[in-house]
Amino acid sequence: MLSETAYAKINLALHVRKRREDGYHELETLFAFVDHGDRLSAAPANADSLTTQGEFAGKIDDPLDNIVGKALAALPHGAGWAVTLEKCLPVAAGLGGGSADAGAVFRMVEAVHGLPDDWHVRAAKLGADVPACVLSRPCVGTGTGTELAEVVENDLAGCPVLLVNPRAPVPTGPVFKAWDQIDRGPMPAGSLREIALQGRNDLEIPAVAICPVIADVLAALRETGPFLARMSGSGATCFALYDSMAELQAAADKITNAHPGWWQMAGKLR
């Protein structure tokens, strides 16, 4: 039996530079990963299968067409695997949940069979975030997010992080379409912390216009005293970084009391 965590992805910064002729966007983004997420397990079987469970399992309409199945189909892994996915991360939430699941499959295959030399190409065909989720280490993504460079100085390893989602799914396409096409400049260089603090998320304004409650989440997080609070990806999940676990716990308790219906996940950056 294999098991792997599909680490929640957050975009510490996300700079949108231009809209391309192919409909995609040129990005500069800083990927980081939380030490919690979905959980996958797999056992040898005569054919591939996927069983889903957990709080958000019902949001997966067709398990056979899930990105986990597509990841299995993209890699040699023997006769088949029976995979169980515990879906802990909300769907369409800016956390790369499906991409993280695919990344976990790649790492499980790597542990048993190794990965083919072109694994990056295979991963990118499944989604722009998948190559970064395979690594699940801090890295800068450029192009559509698939061209990766690991961050040399990870001075946020172990940093307490709180994720909050108002249980409002936000599809990625409409948010990118609503971007105003203004290039606000490149992402800065430096350590992970420096890039995060000096960076921004260019999708925050269009996402708030589509899903106004995101602004409420950000305001609630900023009232808890983090050194950084920002929306991840195209929303609706927002994150806050703290200097201590005590501060994080106090923040989580405060938000739970004020907004008991919001989803939360507390952890540390990898």
pLDDT above 70 for 61: no
CATH number of the structural domain spanning residue 164:
3.30.70.890
DSSP 8-class letter at 90: P
Question: Taking residues 243-259, what's their average pLDDT?
Answer: 98
Decide: 164 and 220 in contact? Cβ < 8 Å.
yes
Bridging pattern class, strands 228-231 and 139-143: unpaired
Mean pLDDT across the stretch 195-200?
98
- State the total domains in the chain: 2
pLDDT, one tens digit per residue, over 99-131 is 999 999 999 999 999 999 999 999 999 999 999
238-241, strands of its sheet edge to edge: 228-231, 238-241, 160-165, 263-268
Q: How confident is the model at residue 60 (pLDDT cuts 50, 70, 90)?
A: confident
Q: Look up tokens 């409409």; give the residue.
A: 174
116 and 174 part of one domain = no
pLDDT in tens, 149-172: 999 999 999 999 999 999 999 999
Q: From CA 219, how far away is CA 216, in angstroms rounded? A: 5
What separation in angstroms does the CA of 176 have from each of 14, 16, 98, 120, 180?
Answer: 12, 9, 19, 24, 9
pLDDT at 64: 61
| Six token digits for residue 249 | 């716990």
Asked if residue 232 is part of any domain, the answer here is yes
Catalytic hit among 48, 101, 129, 202? 129
**Residue 9 appears among annotated catalytic residues:** yes
Q: What is the reported pLDDT for 63?
A: 60
Q: What is the pLDDT of residues 213-224, one digit of tens each?
A: 999 999 999 999
Would residue 129 show up in a list of annotated catalytic residues for this protein?
Answer: yes
The pLDDT, as a whole number, for residue 115 is 98
Residues 181 and 133 in one domain: no
Q: What are phi and psi of 259, to 5 degrees?
A: -140, 70
Residues 107, 129 within the same domain: yes
Enclosing domain of residue 258: 160-268
Our measurement of the distance from residue 115's CA atom to the centroid of its chain's CA atoms, rounded to an integer in Å, reads: 22
Q: Last residue of a domain, which of 118, 150, 182? A: 150
The one catalytic residue among 9, 38, 48, 87: 9
Alpha-carbon radius of gyration of the chain: 18
Q: Label residue 204 by pLDDT band (50, 70, 90).
A: very high
80 and 106 part of one domain: yes
- Whether 155 is covered by a domain: the verdict is no
One-letter amino acid for residue 163 of the chain: L
Please indicate, yes or no, whether residues 166 and 264 belong to a single structural domain of this protein.
yes
